[in-house]
Amino acid sequence: MNIGLSGHALISFRQTGIAHYALSLYKELFCIDTQDRFFIFNLSNEPLKEQYFSEFENVIEYRVGTRLEKNKDYYTTHKKAFEQSIKKFLHTYEIDVFYIPGPIDHTLPPYDRTYFGSVPVVATIHDVIPALFKQQELFARDGANGCLEYYKRLLATRHMDRLLAISATTKKDYAKLMHISHQKIVLVYESVYQKYQKKNVDEHTKRELQKKYAIRSRLLLYVGGNAWRKNAERLIEALALVPPNIRQNATLIFVGKTAKTTEQRWQKLIEENGLCDHAKIAGYVTYDELNNLYNMADWMVFPSIYEGFGMPVVEAWKCDVPVMTSNNSSLGEIGKNAAVLVNPFSKEDIARGLTEILTMSDAKRKHYISSGQRRATHFEGEPIARKILQLLHEEAYKSSKKKTCCMFFRRLTGKMDEVYCRVYTWYATWRYGRPSSH
């Protein structure tokens, strides 16, 4: 069987969860399946196979050579080029099924189902966060045009043959939002990026990091960006509520790519709450440094307001680090009984969680470590890749049994979706397009 794979998430290996997801999944697929052939659809001149998959003989890369970036011709010239490139790719390699790891990609035109003809399309939905938090995620950042572009991509996913959701929360939210049957969506958890593993950090590296971030004897690690829903500011306020005698030996390090203005706002909040000796902003760090920090941490704290999955939780477990996280969205689902859970909307409850983990006995902490280790086995790469491979085979088999494909109906529903997008964008602009109160 000839399996087509979108390679767009890997271009310049973007520092995103979807890029990690795609790279880990593809490597697992290429390792476990030597019978099928894989064809990577690459919209740039960047050699993806040479960078990431050179050791695999069952992988062929198709480079279009024209990266489709946003400009004034985005929905005319580029949309047409995107369609022609996909059709040529499918025809050249006689693709049986096509897989997209991140279909709601703002750097591409929507993946119109009609481009693929009779070739079945499978895609992974990671979250619908912009649709759930329109004011903060769409209008505060990109305005009405951003809303229109997002909904075009989101609605385009409704017409794909099979959808995978990385958590039960994402599956439920997507099905409710898109008014489609739960049967069309399959729960397939995300696997952790392979770089994060349990290791012994050598003393020299440990001393350097302790000096660099002024780490005290207890290290609390926060991993996330500057998105409002990551809840960093409420976490700082919560740390200030922890009694001084309990937090005196603790250092909370904030890791993640953040804007300069965000760092300045966080630092001001840290200073105002008298936490300069207990909270440090590390910003962006390399994978190796993050892996070292994970393995040095006493606890990972991640009280995010909402996540489609919550990869930092599993990354910490893979490094044998216990976790404190939120009791809602996918975090409550992933954490289950393996993490200390808090209400992310209450700084008092986050402070309660921080106090609990800082005063916890060694025996109870070891219980959370072992619980996390067991829970992490549900997110191993190989079984997840095998499940996705099985679904790809099923869709290809079902497609071979179909005699015709109603392209007219797909084009009609696509036009209706476009009208819906414009009407809804107008309504949402009126309803949500005011400055966020957050």
Predicted pLDDT at 425 = 66
Given a cut of 80, whether residue 309 has pLDDT beyond it is yes
Question: pLDDT averaged over the chain?
Answer: 87
Q: Tens digit of pLDDT for each residue in 314-341?
A: 999 999 999 999 999 999 999 988 999 9
Give per-residue pLDDT as tens, 119-129. 999 999 999 99
Answer whether residue 166 shows pLDDT above 70: yes
Q: Give the pLDDT of residue 162.
A: 95
Confidence at residue 432, expressed as pLDDT on a 0 to 100 scale: 61
Which has more confidence, 67 or 383? 383
| Interval 49-61 mean pLDDT | 93
Confidence at residue 74, expressed as pLDDT on a 0 to 100 scale: 47
**Is a pLDDT exceeding 80 seen at residue 254?**
yes
pTM: 0.87
Q: Which one has a higher pLDDT value, 422 or 283?
A: 283
- 68-91 per-position pLDDT tens digit: 554 444 445 677 888 889 999 999
Check pLDDT > 60 for residue 205: yes
98, pLDDT greater than 60: yes
pLDDT at 271: 96
The confidence score (pLDDT) of residue 438 equals 42
Please check the confidence at residue 347 and state whether its pLDDT lies above 90: yes
How much is the pLDDT for 95?
96
Which has the higher per-residue pLDDT, 181 or 221? 221
Residue 436 pLDDT more than 50? no
Is the confidence at residue 93, as pLDDT, over 70? yes
For 403-434, the pLDDT digits (tens) are 444 555 555 565 666 666 667 666 666 666 55
What residues form DSSP beta bridges with 323? Answer: 300
100-120: pLDDT as tens digits? 999 998 888 889 999 999 999
**pLDDT reading at 174 higher than 50:** yes
* Mean of pLDDT values over 29-43: 93
What was the pLDDT predicted at 301? 98
